[in-house]
Structure 1
Amino acid sequence: MTVIEGSVALVTGGQRGIGKAYVDQLLARGAKKVYATSRNPSLSRDDRVEALPLDVAHDASVAALAERAQDVDMVFNNAGVLYPVPLLKSDLQQVKALFETNVFGPLRIAQVFAPVLARNGGGVLVDMHSALSWGAGAASYGASKAALWSLTNSLRIELAAQHTQVVGVHLGFADTEMVASLPVQKISAVDVARIVLDGVERGESEVLVDDFTRKIKSALSGPVEGLTISVGR
């Protein structure tokens, strides 16, 4: 069991969408302090929240964050970008930029904060995946989330010795600005944060947020054609 009360958390992309919901839920559950990052952060009215600049695609930015947040015992790798253009029509530079944020960004965070978590008792690392980690049809975004899922599973093994709980989160579509234009059923960001933190507190290694995600994961044992996801427009 993991206790959130009295903890110090870091939430990347923590000033909007699911990230902001994480910050609010962590505070509601008694977190002592939350570092909420953004490329261009706004000051918080809550003195328990420290807004810090971060670009996960840049080593120096990540290193500066780690230097500032040495008291962290919970890390939420939430920052991400969406680039939905079909693979055969994609600009490879944009695909590389997407992987810098969605894959190498969380890895940079994990690398610099692993020693911090170790010094603070092990703590928790949460990585935000997607049902699209398993589903076909999401182009480079899905590929980036599949890569992150694999990284998370390896990090869980590597961080076991220091007693860090590594949690992989999968969900379908949350009601956020990133997917506002998609005509699909969405779960609220507040519900995502609540379900994930419930899983963290129970000591889980993987959280499947919604029925859509559970359906996609169940299809992994069947033909690959069953993993195709169609998002209407």
Structure 2
Amino acid sequence: MNTRHSVALVTGANRGLGLAFAHELLARGATKVYAGVRDIGSIDASNPAIVPVQLDVTNAMSVAAAAARCADITLLINNAGIARVLPSLLDPDWIGSSQEIMETNFYGIVRTTQAFAPVLSANGNGAIVNVLSDTTWFARPMLSAYAASKSAAWSFTNASRIELREHGIHVLGMHVGFLDTDMTKGYELKKTNPREAASYTLGELERGAHEALVDENTRQVQGSLSSGNAAYYLNVPALA
């Protein structure tokens, strides 16, 4: 898919990776970018090419309204996501936190895919990018609930790729480690610049890739899966 002259909707676009995707799309020649956000007031409205759209991916009515509002899109970027750090798998709050996370990170993607796939198909040669994670394959205990949501989203992404191909829709899963955003603020970690991550992913989309493995650590994790020492077996120091 060529992102030049595309019309895109980016969910969770008020900051971080979502905002980086919006800016990168415009830099590549996108005609319009709908910025899907819960709070319209959180979007800088100074750029007329970025159109704020009220969208709560946990609310089916909100998603349906956005699909009607953004009926001209050719690209959907499912970026909206939340994370919670829990001290242990045995934490009493684990189930409640995981349910909250799944509503956004997994069911949110399901809702938007179901609502926007007919729109993309009608507009011809559309695409969906689902923002996933290296935790899809490597579940750190403190992020185990978040990891479970991304693993579920990866499975749905793979199923979507098979079914939606028949409707002229290309599906790409973006896998990335820690990003330099508000979500990781205060943590001393190796982080990827969001704009660089967005640029790499859109480049992979344009060349027809099925997955974008943004950083070297993510590539190492994925590459270990078929080995006898897969990253998810234990907390490998080099991949922590």
Question: Which bin holds the TM-score, normalised by the shorter protein?
Answer: over 0.9
Residue number in structure 1 paired with 2:90: 88
Distance 1:32 1:229, change over 3 A: farther
1:90-129 pair list within 5 angstroms: 90-91=92-93, 92-129=95-132
| Counterpart Cα distance in 2 of 1:43 and 1:155 | 33
Residue number in structure 2 paired with 1:213: 218
Query: Once the two structures are aligned, what percentage of the paired residues are identical?
Result: 40
Residue number in structure 1 paired with 2:146: 141
Distance 1:218 1:115, change over 3 A: same
> Do 1:43 and 1:50's aligned partners in 2 also have CA atoms closer than 8 Å?
no
Distance 1:213 1:80, change over 3 A: same
Residue number in structure 2 paired with 1:68: 69
Deviation, structure 1 residue 181: 2.4
Residue number in structure 2 paired with 1:4: 3
Secondary structure, aligned partner of 2:90: helix
Scaled by the length of structure 2, the TM-score of the pair is: 0.92
> Do 2:45 and 2:52's aligned partners in 1 also have CA atoms closer than 8 Å?
yes
Deviation, structure 1 residue 94: 2.2
CA-to-aligned-CA distance 1:128-180 (integer Å, 9 cap, x gap): 11001000223100111011001000000010101211000001111000111
> Do 1:7 and 1:33's aligned partners in 2 also have CA atoms closer than 8 Å?
yes
> Do 2:174 and 2:212's aligned partners in 1 also have CA atoms closer than 8 Å?
yes
The alignment of Structure 1 onto Structure 2 pairs a total of residues equal to: 232
> Do 1:126 and 1:169's aligned partners in 2 also have CA atoms closer than 8 Å?
yes
| Counterpart Cα distance in 1 of 2:17 and 2:145 | 21
> Do 2:221 and 2:230's aligned partners in 1 also have CA atoms closer than 8 Å?
no
Unaligned stretches of 5+ in structure 2? none
Q: Cα RMSD between the aligned structures? A: 1.8
1:1-233 pair list within 5 angstroms: 2-41=1-40, 42-85=43-86, 86-91=88-93, 92-137=95-140, 138-223=143-228, 226-227=231-232, 228-229=234-235
Unaligned stretches of 5+ in structure 1? none
